[in-house]
Amino acid sequence: MSASALGPGHDGDDGGELITEINVTPMVDIMLVLLIIFMVTATFIVRPSIKVELPKASRADRSVATVGVTLKADGGLMLNGRPLSEKALMAELRRQARSRRDVQAIIAGDAAVQHGRVVRVIDIIRRAGVTRFAINVQLDEGALEGL
């Protein structure tokens, strides 16, 4: 085969000519694979949470929670995502109230939890020395439209 048959710029010697252009195709392929991996794993990198069906209210104020107390529908009690008993809740809240004066508690109770259970937890929180607390609700704009 002659050098003219290979096209312009080819002299027929494969090892004599330097490659002066960078082939970016492999880099683009790798970047696309990394992008897909990040997109797939990003859905798993979320803050772990406990599924609680919050009661709805027409008005809700935002507050910063220092500790989160969760009452689950099955009767379970959790402090900042850790399951514990009422006695352990009292001890932990007392410890935190002694170390900081500005401890706040956010109570998130499932809608199926009985009112008396919520009142009992509020009593535990207050006896532990935490005087600032709020009840977490899901905002429902149309809750009072019929009134």
- How far apart (Å, rounded) are the C-alpha atoms in residues 138 and 127? 27
Residue 23 belongs to a domain: no
- Of the pLDDT bands very low, low, confident and very high (cuts 50, 70, 90), residue 64 is very low
Residue 108 CB neighbour total at 10 angstroms: 21
Q: Rg of the chain's alpha carbons, rounded to an integer?
A: 31
Q: State pTM to two decimals.
A: 0.55
Instruction: Say which residue, 140 or 38, is predicted with more confidence.
Output: 38
Domain count, the chain: 1
How confident is the model at residue 65, as a pLDDT? 43
Taking the CA atoms of residue 70, residue 71, residue 74 and residue 80 in that order, the dihedral angle to the nearest 10 degrees is 20
pLDDT exceeds cutoff 90 at 107: no
pLDDT digits (tens, 9 = 90+) for 3-49: 555 555 555 556 678 878 888 888 899 999 998 888 777 765 555 55
- How far apart (Å, rounded) are the C-alpha atoms in residues 16 and 26? 24
Look at 11-15, 53-57, 77-81, 83-87 and tell me which has the smallest mean pLDDT. Answer: 11-15
pLDDT exceeds cutoff 80 at 51: no
13-36: string of b/e by CB count within 10 Å (b at 16+)?
eeeeeeeeeeeeeeeeeeeeeeee
| Chain center to CA of 73 | 21
- Please give the structure tokens belonging to residue 42: 């990003």
Mean pLDDT of the chain: 78
Q: Could you tell me where the beta strands, DSSP code E, fall in 39-97?
A: 56-57, 67-71, 77-79, 82-83
Residue 22 belongs to a domain: no
- Of the pLDDT bands very low, low, confident and very high (cuts 50, 70, 90), residue 66 is confident
- How far apart (Å, rounded) are the C-alpha atoms in residues 120 and 67? 17
Residue 128 belongs to a domain: yes
Residue 105 belongs to a domain: yes
How confident is the model at residue 90, as a pLDDT? 92
Q: What residues make up the domain containing 85?
A: 56-139
Average pLDDT for 138-144: 70
pLDDT exceeds cutoff 90 at 54: no
CATH of the domain at 60: 3.30.420.270
